């Protein structure tokens, strides 16, 4: 069975094929009408979504397929206490492809372990968001002309922003990309992402001032402060509105700067920036449909096999991340990748010192 949980499940050549296919769908939409006729997509959205959910739905409808699913677990049997395994097992028996978004990290992988059809991760807590990343790569390809040799600024909630984590991992696989992380110390980029960048030989620096970063950036990736992932309202209040991109700051940017944002925006970009030709976030959201059409087409045929767990269960070792799916769904095998004295949870990537 073929799943998309993390872009690392596939080689870069596969990502490039998805991007090329989505470009062809964008240019020749008529060619793909009806390509998924008779097929059903199941969307399991345990967390709110506008763009991801609707762009997947639009993708399936434009391919001639049909939809089932929920966008509010309170109206499904989840509210009666059904576990993720059973819900996935049942819906994957009705559908040909499943798209899942869940507040817990590693939930998409957990779902894929029991699904009878391909599973696509549409966001698992603060962890990963691979389909947004492919959308971002397509946007850069079409609007910037390249996904290599870029100075990429990432600004805002870098600790909880799953789109940031997936995009950093992906861009580190293309040549010559350099990263500037702009955040408060509390919302800094996780160390496991920094380690991945270092392992790929990518330079990065961490700044606290957006003004200081602006002049050198080719791409500015703004993000929302993720209120729902803070332990308390006070902690969120202390972080909100620290970084606001406005017309004045845009003056510090290059002429060919590209401003992206996975959206939704709260207050981090003022609305007068929308009229600047360098603000591409609305286009970016639209490109998401073509990426998701390419993904559905490729995955529903599903010729590959995704190996979901490659590590092993270690005696008496449990994941320490309270947001990991294994802390809630206790039947899951607690599988780890082990290297010397460190074990990495295979669901959420949390590291545990042994």
Shortest Cβ 49–ligand NCD spacing (Å) = 6
3 or 162, CB closer to ligand NCD?
Answer: 162
Q: Least distance from C-beta 102 to ligand NCD, angstroms?
A: 11
Compute, in degrees rounded to 10, the torsion defined by CA atoms 268, 271, 272, 273: 50
Cα-flanking dihedrals φ and ψ of residue 42, to 5°?
Answer: -105, 125
- For the bound state, the minimum distance from the C-beta of residue 331 to ligand NCD, rounded and expressed in Å, comes to 27
Report in angstroms how near the CB of residue 309 gets to ligand NCD at its nearest.
25
CB of 38 to ligand NCD, least distance (A): 28
Q: What is the 3-state secondary structure (H, E, C) of 139-206?
A: HHHHHCCCCCCCEEEEECCCCCCHHHHHHHHHHCCCCCCEEEEECCHHHCCCHHHHHHHHHCCCCEEE
130: left (phi over 0), alpha (psi -120 to 50) or beta: alpha
Residue 333 Cβ, how far from ligand NCD at the closest point, in Å? 27
By C-beta, is 114 or 132 nearer to ligand NCD? 132
DSSP letters, 43-95, are EEESS--SHHHHHHHHHHHHTT-EEEEES-GGGSGGGGT--HHHHHHHHHHH-
Residues that bind ligand NCD (CB under 6 A): 51-52, 123, 129, 132, 162-163, 224, 226, 262-263
Residue with smaller CB distance to ligand NCD, 153 or 262: 262
Distance (Å) of CA 117 to CA 14, 112, 159, 298, 354: 20, 8, 32, 13, 36
Helix orientation angle between 51-62 and 130-143, rounded to the nearest 10 degrees = 80
**Rounded to an integer, what distance in angstroms lies between the CA atom of residue 147 and that of residue 145?**
7
CA dist 254 to 219, 220, 250, 301, Å?
A: 9, 11, 8, 43
- Quick one: 225 or 343, whose CB is closer to ligand NCD? 225
Q: What is the dihedral of CA 123, 285, 192, 48, to 10 degrees?
A: -30
Query: For ligand NCD, which is the closer residue by CB, 87 or 132?
Result: 132
Query: Which residues share a beta bridge with 119?
Result: 98
State the nearest-atom distance from the C-beta of 173 to ligand NCD, in Å: 21
Beta carbon nearer to ligand NCD, 205 or 283 = 283
Nearest distance from C-beta of residue 132 to ligand NCD, angstroms: 5
Cβ proximity to ligand NCD: between 134 and 202 the closer is: 134
- Which CB, 178 or 261, lies closer to ligand NCD? 261
């Amino acid at each position: 069975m073929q799943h998309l949980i993390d872009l690392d499940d596939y080689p870069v050549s596969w990502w490039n094929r998805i991007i090329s296919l989505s470009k062809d769908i964008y240019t020749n939409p008529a060619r793909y009408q009806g390509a998924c006729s008779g097929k059903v997509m199941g969307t399991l959205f345990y967390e709110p979504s506008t763009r991801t959910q609707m762009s997947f739905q639009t993708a399936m409808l434009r391919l001639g397929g049909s939809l089932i699913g929920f966008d509010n677990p309170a109206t499904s049997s989840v509210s009666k206490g059904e576990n993720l395994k059973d819900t996935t097992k049942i819906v994957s028996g009705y559908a040909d492809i499943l798209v899942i978004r869940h507040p817990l990290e590693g939930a998409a992988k957990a779902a894929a372990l029991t699904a009878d059809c391909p599973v696509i991760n549409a966001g698992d807590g603060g962890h990963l968001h691979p389909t947004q990343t492919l959308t971002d790569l397509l946007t850069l390809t079409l609007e910037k002309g390249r996904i290599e040799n870029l100075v990429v600024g990432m600004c805002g909630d870098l600790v909880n922003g799953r789109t940031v984590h997936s995009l950093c991992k992906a861009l580190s696989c293309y040549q010559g990309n350099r990263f500037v992380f702009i955040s408060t110390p509390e919302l800094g980029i996780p160390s496991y992402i920094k380690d991945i960048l270092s392992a790929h030989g990518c330079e990065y620096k961490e700044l606290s001032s957006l003004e200081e970063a602006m002049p050198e950036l080719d791409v500015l990736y703004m993000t929302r402060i993720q209120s729902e992932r803070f332990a308390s309202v006070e902690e969120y209040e202390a972080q909100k509105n620290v970084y606001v991109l406005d017309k004045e700051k845009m003056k510090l940017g290059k002429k060919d700067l590209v401003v992206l944002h996975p959206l939704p925006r709260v207050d981090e970009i003022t609305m007068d920036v929308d009229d600047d030709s360098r603000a591409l976030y609305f286009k970016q959201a639209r490109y998401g449909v073509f990426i998701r059409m390419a993904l559905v087409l490729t995955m529903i045929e599903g010729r590959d096999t995704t190996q979901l767990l490659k590590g092993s269960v270690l005696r008496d070792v449990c994941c320490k991340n309270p947001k990991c799916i294994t802390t809630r769904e206790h039947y899951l095998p607690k599988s780890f990748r082990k290297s010397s004295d460190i074990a990495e949870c295979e669901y959420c990537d949390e590291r545990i010192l042994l």
